[in-house]
Structures are given as structure tokens and as C-alpha cells.
Amino acid sequence: MSTLTKLPKELYDLQAFNAFDEKRDFHVGAARACSWLCQLAYETDDPGMVGEILAAWGLGLPKGGIIAKSVATPLPIARTEAFLAAKDGVGFLSFAGTDPIVLEDWITDFRIRSSPDGVAEGFSIAAESVLPEIGELLRAIRCRALVVTGHSLGGALAVLAATSLRRAGFPVTSVYTFGMPRAGGEAFQRSYNALVGGVTYRLVHGADIVPSVPPSGLGFRHVGRVLHCPSWGKCDPSALASDPGSDEPLFLPQVVEGVRTTLLRPLGAGSLVTGAFRSVAALLRPNRHSRRNDRIGRLIDGLPPAIRDHLPDAYINTVT
């Protein structure tokens, strides 16, 4: 992962779980805790840091609780990365997503198909690579409730894991996703929503482009209950969809083309000059949103809204 999805240890909120409430319906305190779990999932290459932050939150990390498997899929994920932690009999399973540096290639390339089970090509492979290991860990810790969460493509892996684990008899009680793409087609949507759709809370922040892809026009559908959060505002729990039927947000080709033009255009003399001015402007501009007060934070805030609104810290902000 690049520094775009990571945070220095000192910027983690050690009170992230103070308002956690084990409820079966949406709770902002639980959403806040899950947003931080998603952020921490991007740090699995530093097990010491993961364990230290979890301990500060009062969570235990079982032996083998950090999971990483290399996968070969059409997705921009080299490895499936997740961790399982527990607190007071509640298990927390968190999936990392993908690096924004490579994400643009995927959101502008829709040569993607559904597998026979209705799941988007690649997601099944990525999720199934770690499910046996997760099952063994869950049997060992014997949790009475399980919260599953994920950001970006990790959100899609979270819903696949949730449905598989529930069918296997594990006590999945809630699923929180942040900036999740569509994970499957209509068949998957129907089966998922019938099983855990009512306790799946799908947060969409501002202009985040990732929840709009893959396009529904290609047969893909969202699952769970959507909650739209205003760009850099706070989410309103009363706006949570009452039923898991919404397929919003819509795919807008012009937005994808804007991302392509801004981030993927081959570099020529003109674009080099434009890019240089954009980078300098980002460095000089006051740091409006990023938790980082350094050069990286200012560069992050210089990203197009469709990508900037997708980063994990944007979702942390909306539930804090």
C-alpha cells in the first residue's frame, strides 16, 4: 500500500471504541469503530502497530489474527489482507481495500464478468482465499457476535465473507462497508439481502466514485442498506435506507472520464506542466481535510473529489 491509505501511528484515535454499542441496527458509534478498523486494515504489513492499536482500543488479536494471502484475480489487489480481533465476546473482521494509485485502472476498465454464483469476477477468488483461515480463527475464539467491515474493494470482500460465514453458522450480526463497489449481480443481491441485507450498512461519502462501479448497466447490483453522507459533513442515521433495495449511486460516465483524464492521461509536455502546477498548488494550499499535516496530507487533499472522497479518512470523518 502507498502512503495514501496509511496513517502514522500517532494519528490514530485511541478513543475510537468509546462509543461502540453492540446493537443489531445501525449505530454511529459502531460505524466509527468500524471505520477505524478499516483504516487499520491497511497497516497489516506492520503487525506490531496493528497489535498496539488494537490493544489501545481494548481488543485482543489472536495468534494468526492478521491474514494475508496472495491472489491472482482481475482486481487491482495483489493480496487479500484482513485481520480478526475480539473484545468482550464480539469478533471484528476487517478487510483492507486497494491502493488509490492502482484503483483508477479498475474503475475505468469494465471488462469484468459475473461468476456462476452471481459474484463479480475476482471477488470470489479473493474472499475464498482467506475464508478457511478465518473460519479456524472464529472457532478458536468462540465469539457470540461477529461484526464484519471493509473499505473500498475490501467492502466487497466483507459482504462475501459475511454471507459465507453466516451460512456456515457463524454469528454475523452486522456488516459495515465504506465506499464499496457493486459486488455481484441480481442473483447475488437477492440471496445476500435475504440473509444479511437488513444488517448491512453501506456508507457512501460525497462524490466517491467507487460505489458507482461496476455499472448496473452491466448487470451488477448493490446489497445492504445505503446511507449517503454529505461530502466532509456528518452522516445522519435517519437517512439510512429502511430496506436493502437501493442500487445507488448511479454510474456516471462523465465522472469516470474525468478521473481518467485527470489521473490516467499519458504524460505529455502540457500535462507535465499542468500536473506540476497542480502539485505545487496542493502543497501550498491549507490542509483542509487530511489528518496528516505534512506534504503527503496536502497532496491527498489535492486529489479529485471522486477519489479524495473515497479515501478511508474521509469516511472516518463522516462518522466522528
Domain assignment of residue 199, yes or no: yes
Domain assignment of residue 20, yes or no: yes
For the stretch 277-308, pLDDT in tens is: 344 444 444 446 777 777 878 888 888 898 89
Q: At what angle do helices 28-41 and 47-56 cross, to 10 degrees?
A: 160
Q: Which of 59, 58, 61, 57 is nearest to 16 (CA)?
A: 57
Q: Are the beta carbons of 80 and 157 closer than 8 angstroms?
A: yes
Domain assignment of residue 144, yes or no: yes
Domain assignment of residue 207, yes or no: yes
Mean pLDDT over 99-126 rounds to: 66
Range of the domain at 175: 3-256+306-318
Domain assignment of residue 290, yes or no: no
| pTM (2 d.p.) | 0.88
**Length of the chain in terms of residues written:** 320
Whether the per-residue pLDDT at 38 is higher than 90: the answer is yes
For the stretch 86-104, pLDDT in tens is: 999 999 999 999 877 666 5
Domain assignment of residue 124, yes or no: yes
Domain assignment of residue 127, yes or no: yes
Domain count, the chain: 1
For residue 93, give the CATH number of its domain: 3.40.50.1820
| Neighbour count for residue 105 (Cβ, 10 Å) | 12
Mean pLDDT over 146-155 rounds to: 96
Domain assignment of residue 261, yes or no: no
What confidence score (pLDDT) does residue 116 get? 59
For the stretch 208-244, pLDDT in tens is: 999 998 888 888 999 999 999 999 999 999 999 999 9
